[in-house]
Chain A
Amino acid sequence: MWNHDNSTVLSLICTRIVAVAAVICAFFVPGVVDYYCGDYTGREAIAPSGRMPGTVGIYACLLIALVILYMLDRLLSNIRKEEIFIPQNVAYLRGISWACFAMCLPCLLIAVYGSQTFLFVMVAAAFMGLILRVVKNVIEAAVLIKEENDYTV
């Protein structure tokens, strides 16, 4: 029978698989950048002059993604322990939101020096950061309500 705990475990497993995939991807970044530079046909690929900024930008994105995945892992672990409306989870959501905004910088770097496709990724990351910021505000309010409820005699 599918239940709440199974769903959390599935999310946790997916998070860890993506984290492992991100680490594996890190080994192939130079090859991917070389491939795009070699097949440079215009706006969709990375210009040969953008090889270094492209590599640095993608590594920065991977690093931020790993930070986000770590915080997601901790968040899901807390949810599994039935510790949902706690200040620590608000801090994780705040961190993930800021990390999404931080992701915009390397994306902008790649967009300027390499592929303009990353402008779309930049906007998507900023939008995701904004959504998570609203979710963080909701959980923050819920923490206050829970605290008041816990201390009502």
Chain B
Amino acid sequence: MGKIVVNLDVVMAKRKISAGALAEAVGITPANLSILKNNKAKAIRFSTLEELCRILDCQPGDILEYRDEQDS
């Protein structure tokens, strides 16, 4: 069984944006952004994903990745 991995920290590093600035721009709390960054999130709203893609100028596939258990 595989899992969805959030590569938000990679995209953030590429765009050189801090967690606080991103959280404020997207309109979510720093605690929720931390949950997302640390792969603890159970679900993500389309509205949040849309805002993340807009602010980071990327595609959902850049942030989310499906990884097989064997690969990890």
Interface residues of A (CB under 8 A from B): 147-148, 151-153
Tell me the B residues contacting A by CB distance below 8 Å.
28, 32-33, 35-36, 40-45, 48
CB of B8 to closest CB in A, whole Å = 10
Chain A, Cβ-Cβ closest to B52: A153
Bound form: Cα–Cα A151–B36 in Å: 8
Chain B residues with Cβ below 8 Å from A153 are: 28, 32-33, 35-36, 41, 43-45, 48
Q: CA separation between A153 and B51, bound complex, in Å?
A: 12
Q: Considering the chains assembled together, what is the distance between the CA atoms of A151 and B42 in angstroms?
A: 5
Complex interface: chain A residues within 8 A of B28 (CB): 153
Contacts of A152 in B (CB 8 A): 41-45
Contacts of B42 in A (CB 8 A): 147-148, 151-152
